[in-house]
Structure 1
Amino acid sequence: MPDFITPTSGLILWAVLGYLIGSVPFGILLSRALGLGDLRKIGSGNIGATNVLRTGSKGAAAATLLLDGGKGALAVILARSFAGEDATQLAAVAAFLGHCFPIWLRFRGGKGVATFLGILLATSWPVGVAACATWLVVAAASRYSSLAALVAAGSAPFWAIFMGTGTIFVMCLVLTVLIYVRHAANIGRLRAGTETKIGARAS
């Protein structure tokens, strides 16, 4: 590391890099490139894979899911390769915040579920696999993407302890709280029985 980069400034650099990586709005970019319209005016207006699916393009939704997860993983992998564990977890949280509050979209981004899962897979793949499996089971049983996300996120800190990776417990807890905050409206609709199920087309 160059002498002019102190430990503190190094962490700031990784936070900025993580944020910029996470802020790339793949859902918006793919929808425009494929002529699917402005994603922010479709369905829930969210920029994530679930709303891309409401355009009727399963391929675009799958690509958005992979890319949104991939950017979270990329932030972790880069930080882990060139810096320490503190920088890795900081870059991970910053990438998540970048997805949720991207500067390019006036800080109106997605809810971070795919990015969250990508971060978990890159930081501790057993925890990531367990969280992904939790999402799949709940989604298959309920057909509610939001409920699956909430249960998967809520389970992540416990999976971290169970899998013996307690070093990421605080990171998991912080990201879980953020996911619940981002899903406040979904929680209200789930309680009211008005939440949209997976695969419902945009009206």
Structure 2
Amino acid sequence: MQNYFIWIIIAYFIGNFATSYLTSKMMGKIDIREHGSGNAGATNVLRVLGVKAALITFIGDALKGAIVVLMVRPLGHAQLTLACGLAVIIGHNFPLLLKFKGGKGIATSIGVFLVVDPLAAAISVGLGMILIVKSKYVSLGSITGMASLPFVLLILRRPLEIVIFGLLVGLLAVYQHRTNINRLLKGTENKIGSKRKK
């Protein structure tokens, strides 16, 4: 049990590795948390610094999720793997090293699920991408893609623990997008290519 706790803590601090923060410092000489929406994620980087910086951020955030699962899975404990997967997402969203001001966890969640269940990840991400293309709302696609995870896992008849894990990841993503949901309902959410509304 003690070793479990150590691995979870390690996963959390790997999640603290803020790709957006480092990318914005190197490519824009800014702290991304002080610009745009103030969120330390790929979407805000896209709005502030452009496609190249956003792509680097997304890949970096996804990689840390995948790396944690690949690192822990050989230990042979499914529950530990899922716990560490959740820990790296929480570490990204609420990083101690950045005073708990992180991103919304979409890229990191995708990275985790690409290793945990590639098919489920592909279906959910595909659904999210379709909505982004059709609606031009990144937030709507992100919310829907992550929220669909537990249902996709149920349809694929995955083990209950995987379904519960998907539910937790989905709920966390929805919670992190609560302000976006409010703006979507009010019709004030920003679309791709639009200037940020105050």
Q: What do residues 116-168 of structure 1 show as CA deviations (whole Å, max 9, x unaligned)?
A: 11111110100111111011101001111111111101110011122232341
Aligned to 2:25: 32
Distance 1:23 1:199 in 2: 29
After TM superposition, give the deviation of residue 202 of structure 1 in Å.
5.5
Question: Number of paired residues?
Answer: 196
Q: What do residues 6-46 of structure 1 show as CA deviations (whole Å, max 9, x unaligned)?
A: xx112101211110111111001011011252211211111
SS of alignment partner, residue 21 of structure 2 = helix
CA RMSD of aligned residues (A): 1.4
Equivalent residue runs for 1:25-174 within 5 Å: 25-166=18-159, 167-174=161-168
Aligned to 2:169: 175
Distance 2:55 2:195 in 1: 16
- Work out which of the residue numbers 173, 193, 196 in structure 2 matches 1:199: 193
TM-score normalised to structure 2 length: 0.94
Distance 1:14 1:157 in 2: 25
Distance 2:195 2:40 in 1: 15
- Kindly indicate whether the alpha-carbon contact (under 8 Å) linking 1:117 and 1:131 is maintained by their aligned counterparts in 2: no
Letter in 1 for 2:111: G
After TM superposition, give the deviation of residue 51 of structure 1 in Å.
0.5
Gaps of 5+ in 2: none
- Kindly indicate whether the alpha-carbon contact (under 8 Å) linking 2:28 and 2:49 is maintained by their aligned counterparts in 1: no
Distance 2:134 2:149 in 1: 19
SS of alignment partner, residue 177 of structure 1 = helix
Letter in 1 for 2:2: S
Could you say if the C-alpha distance between residues 123 and 76 of structure 1 is closer, same or farther in structure 2, counting changes exceeding 3 Å?
Answer: same
After TM superposition, give the deviation of residue 199 of structure 1 in Å.
3.2
Distance 1:30 1:81 in 2: 31
Aligned to 1:3: none
Q: What do residues 67-96 of structure 1 show as CA deviations (whole Å, max 9, x unaligned)?
A: 111111111111102341111000000001
Relative contact order (alpha carbons < 8 A, sep ≥ 6): 1 or 2 greater? 1
Distance 2:82 2:12 in 1: 12
- Kindly indicate whether the alpha-carbon contact (under 8 Å) linking 2:16 and 2:97 is maintained by their aligned counterparts in 1: yes
**Most deviating of 87-96 and 27-36:** 27-36
